[in-house]
């Protein structure tokens, strides 16, 4: 019922595989409205994070999340490295002592991570960024927890909401990041960061409450 440190390690390992498999797809999305590096950024960053955690297993969820943040900030680069790094770092600050995370703590961690991304990147929902997938995911976590659900059902709802959020970016004109330089030409493309965020939540659904 709770999220353990081992679940977080499994989640990151699954993400390393997913981003490895989806690297060319994410790069293709970024080639259309950016600079064609999002796939390699994510694959490189999460492979490094997986290796770091597996090389020296962390003792608590906060330690695991913080180590992921540090590795992502160091290895990913671009806009998404500092933003995903901030997501994991802020999530870690909410649960410094916990040995595992219950539903309330999981919600608090992912909500703080999302607020950190928004503070750092200054993007709102509708700007065609990863925020368009993160914010609805957190709303779904909150609604689900309020309805009395445990982490497995909360994360299933969040993954579905993140996919809808990803799809919502298709018709939008980008107002933040590199894609915003294209103006109207950024329309009718999925945002690469919202797509990688939907994958992050899908892996959370499959591994974080297993």
| 198: contact with ligand ADP by CB under 6 A | no
Q: Per-residue DSSP letters for 139-155? A: HHHHHHHHTT--HHHHH
| 190: contact with ligand ADP by CB under 6 A | no
| 35: contact with Mg ion by CB under 5 A | yes
The b/e string for 112-136 (b: 16+ C-beta within 10 A; e otherwise) is bbbbbbbebbebebebbbbbbbbbb
Number of other CB atoms surrounding residue 184 within 10 Å: 8
Shortest distance, position 179 Cβ to ligand ADP, whole Å:
6
DSSP 8-state assignment for residue 3: E
- The site string for ligand ADP over 48-87 (x = CB under 6 A, - otherwise) reads ------------------------------xxx--x----
For residues 25 and 134, give the distance between their C-alpha atoms in angstroms, rounded to a whole number: 20
| 124: contact with Mg ion by CB under 5 A | no
| 45: contact with Mg ion by CB under 5 A | no
Burial of 4: CB neighbours in 10 Å, binned 0-12, 13-18, 19+: middle
Q: Which of 30, 52, 100, 108 binds ligand ADP (CB under 6 A)?
A: 30
| 34: contact with Mg ion by CB under 5 A | yes
Which residues within the stretch 159-178 sit at the binding site for ligand ADP (CB under 6 A)? 176-178
Residue among 67 and 176 whose Cβ is closer to ligand ADP: 176
């Amino acid at each position: 019922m709770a999220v353990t440190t081992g679940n977080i390690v499994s989640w990151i390992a699954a993400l390393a595989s997913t981003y490895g498999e989806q690297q060319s797809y994410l790069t293709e999305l970024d080639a259309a409205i950016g600079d064609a590096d999002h796939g390699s950024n994510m694959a490189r960053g999460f492979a490094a994070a997986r290796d770091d955690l597996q090389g020296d297993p962390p003792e608590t969820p906060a330690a695991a999340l913080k180590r992921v943040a540090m590795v992502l900030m160091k290895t990913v680069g671009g806009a998404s490295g500092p933003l995903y790094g901030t997501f994991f770092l802020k999530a870690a600050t909410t649960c410094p002592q916990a040995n595992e995370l219950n539903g309330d703590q999981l919600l608090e961690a992912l909500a703080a991570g999302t607020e950190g991304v928004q503070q750092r990147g200054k993007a709102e929902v509708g700007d065609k960024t990863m925020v368009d997938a993160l914010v609805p995911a957190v709303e779904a976590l909150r609604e689900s927890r309020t309805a009395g659900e445990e982490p497995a059902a909360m994360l299933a709802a969040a993954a579905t909401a993140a996919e809808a959020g990803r799809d919502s970016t298709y018709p939008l004109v980008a107002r933040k990041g590199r894609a915003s330089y294209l103006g109207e030409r950024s329309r009718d493309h999925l945002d690469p960061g919202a797509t990688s965020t939907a994958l992050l939540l899908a892996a959370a659904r499959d591994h974080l409450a297993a």
